[in-house]
Chains A and B, each alone.
Chain A
């Protein structure tokens, strides 16, 4: 081999590695930036517990936190993840297992497109749907239901929770936010489930059908043995993804700085970071960094537990 070729080889490979490493450096920079400024901010704004429970600071206050947005994030993420999984998983099984069916193929293409869909358009979609159905929903379903519930609960302590959790709904509310998050998560879970199913070896599949007898049983034997890990990972990472989403919440949950009913505008940590970070007020910028540290911690916990699970298996 000529020496030019050798040199070219080294330069070329070195360049690839350099570029590859460059892609991951911002990650470290971001994590360091957020934790160094965020932890400092949390301390200066009144300590961790205060920060996690109190309302966001107004421009002139000296302390504050992300209590209401954090509750909103947890509530909407939980609902969104449950919804996203409850719909995404069966869809993925359908796509992965019934590969020869036309409809399943169409669903696969649809899911593939949806997973890369700009999340802001998903938020707008839910907003538009909400605008259409809100009146009817409140008049015919949520209004009567909450009236009945209130009547039934009477003087008990739960009375107030009805209007907090059930309705009637405002045009911005936590359920619209959760629905948008679920829409973000569905195709993601569906795709991973489908590819996990598709990767199940044919002999194992045949064995499962053989033992299980009926299709439905077979599906679940296969699922338990092989797919559950992949799907669990998908659920965890999918949850991490939606926990940090901002764009789909802009026009659905809208954001709120106070402890308020989920039937109206609801805060989210990501929304607060977005809103507070570019204000001219130092205390709010600090709280944005503190909130970022909280959000990052949630994401890291979800991500690492998913990875540890995956590596262990």
Chain B
């Protein structure tokens, strides 16, 4: 379906559109490389921030909290996953972005981050948003560590921390599964990113602290406009096709890993 819709642009540009960096429908330029790079950058940074938090959530719930608090804390994390993304976007735009700009510029001692809405803002917001998804998978795995293995670990004189690390190693397939699922989420997230990424769809940037664009936010921001140009809509469908392929690939990898490496 997406391919049919995207066909006109492929016929015109070939796959070169994925290698061009300028998006300017008025000038018939439909490059999406800048968005591709933006998607990669934001999701990688987001995952790097989200994974430690997700593991922290799983460990806190399973190892530290008494059972009553466990339910409450777990509910809070689940609620974070249920929150509408547009609310994250709103908060990200008005609170998180300015805060990050302030913090980064203070730490760097100069105007490094020129706008509150940048690839970095999007990355941090994404990290917050995808943490519960990764945490859910890791929690599920963590709960599967058999009591016998736990006794073996403590029996050889492991401290709490050492036991935690050994257990995480035991359920490594779940940690990886959570990683991939969160990565998929981060790459596909649209509205919140569109609200805080800065919407710089015209030019390529690899500077995290500048305004940028991602594939999904390009689609969201440009679709309304696209009807007025012959090739803009096909180009956006081509971008969506790419996104869908990424999504399928990543999720398949995640499911495969979880099923294959079952402890």
Contact = CB atoms under 8 A, between A and B. Distances in A.
B243 to A, nearest CB: 6
A288 interface: yes
B159 A274 contact: no
B80 A23 contact: yes
B56 A20 contact: yes
Interface of B is mostly: helix
Contact of B240 (A24, A121, A244, A303): A121
B214 to A, nearest CB: 11
B84 interface: yes
**Secondary structure of the A side of the interface?**
helix
19 contacts: A5-B159, A13-B64, A17-B60, A20-B60, A23-B132, A24-B73, A113-B247, A113-B252, A116-B184, A118-B184, A120-B216, A237-B82, A244-B83, A244-B87, A245-B84, A270-B86, A278-B195, A288-B90, A303-B78
A137 interface: no
Contact of B55 (A8, A16, A112): A16
Question: Which of B57, B71, B195 has the most C-beta atoms of chain A within 10 angstroms of its own C-beta?
Answer: B57
Interface stretch (A26-34, A92-100, A217-225): A26-34
Interface residues of A, number: 60
B244 interface: yes
B85 A246 contact: yes
Contacts of B145: none
Contact of B251 (A13, A113, A120): A113
A23 B135 contact: yes
Contacts of B57: 19-20, 23-24
A243 B159 CA distance: 45
A23 B77 contact: yes
B33 interface: no
Nearest to B191: A246
Residue in A120, A125, A244, A274 with the greatest tally of chain B CB atoms within 10 Å: A120
Contacts of B77: 23-24
B191 A23 contact: no
Contact of A27 (B2, B83, B135, B162): B83
Given A128-B2, A244-B85, A23 B240 contact: no
Contacts of B80: 23-24, 26-27
A116 B247 CA distance: 8
A116 B56 contact: no
A178 B166 CA distance: 46
Contacts of A251: 223
Contacts, number: 209
Contacts of B59: 13, 16-17, 20
B251 A112 contact: yes
Given A128-B2, A278-B93, A19 B87 contact: no
B146 interface: no
B2 A274 contact: no
Given A27-B76, A246-B85, A274-B195, 6 more contacts: A9-B160, A116-B184, A116-B247, A118-B188, A274-B86, A303-B82
A19 B84 contact: no
Among B55, B56, B131, B185, chain A packs the most CB atoms within 10 A around the CB of B56
A299 interface: yes
Given A29-B95, A246-B191, A307-B75, A16 B60 contact: yes
A30 B87 contact: yes
Q: Which of B64, B157, B191 has the most CB of A within 10 A?
A: B191
B156 interface: no
B220 A20 contact: no
Contact of B220 (A125, A243, A247, A295): A247
Contacts of B219: 120, 124
Contacts of A296: 83-84, 87
Interface string B178-199: 0001001101111100110000
Contacts of B164: 12-13, 16
A240 interface: yes
Interface string A125-148: 100110000000000000000000
A1 B156 CA distance: 12
A246 B86 contact: yes
B36 to A, nearest CB: 14
A13 B243 contact: no
B96 to A, nearest CB: 8
B188 A119 contact: yes
Interface in A248-271: 250-251, 270
Interface string B187-219: 111110011000000000000000000001001
A102 to B, nearest CB: 15
Nearest to A24: B76
B61 interface: yes
A273 interface: yes
